[in-house]
Amino acid sequence: MRVRRYMAALATAEVCDTNAALLATGDLRVLQPIFQVYGQCRAFSGPIVTLKVFEDNVLVRELLETRGEGRVLVIDGGGSLRCALVGGNMGQLAQNMGWTGIVVNGCIRDVDEINACDIGVRALTSHPLKSNKKGIGEKHVPIHVAGTLIRDEEWLYADSDGILVSKSELSI
């Protein structure tokens, strides 16, 4: 199923060049460049849904089972490098449910499967071990990822140059 893109991706470098005032006030923030690029969509954007978990992906699946409607799931996995929070089945689920992207402050697995999905994925790295299944975590809460406070319903813009978070939707 081909997902309708809700808006054209903006070039992050151009956004930074033309929005110095928003960068100065913190209404536009640049995430630290710590993420690897996965998935078919190298550039993606959309409203953010936040999730805070640690080595447990039950809530990740719960959110990805809902209609994405062009949103981006941002997962604060505590930066854990001990297991994966997203795998190939979840990448396919995200694509099928209309999510435009997933950003994981942690690991993914099934890289070849995720790279075949028509979504954008950013993660610290890959890890073959699956996560716990306890259902512990918090949805729709402010999270700290890559040196940046990120809130539910803010906007994320990602491309090959980096990832931006904005308090509101941007246009050129």
Q: How far apart are CA 20 and CA 122, in angstroms?
A: 25
Q: Is 109 annotated as a binding residue?
A: yes
Count Cα neighbours of 131 within 13 Å in the Cβ-side half-sphere. Answer: 26
Q: Is 39 annotated as a binding residue?
A: no
Q: Is 77 annotated as a binding residue?
A: no
Torsion, Cα of 45, 98, 4, 34 (10° steps): 20
Give, as one character, the DSSP assignment of residue 114: H
DSSP 15-41: HHHH-HHHHHHTSEEE--S-PEEESS-
Q: Is 96 annotated as a binding residue?
A: no
Q: Is 88 annotated as a binding residue?
A: yes
Q: How far apart are CA 162 and CA 81, in angstroms?
A: 21
Q: Is 19 annotated as a binding residue?
A: no
Give the residue ranges of the annotated binding site. 87-90, 109-110
Give the residue ranges of the annotated binding site for Mg(2+). 110
Give the residue ranges of the annotated binding site for substrate. 87-90, 109
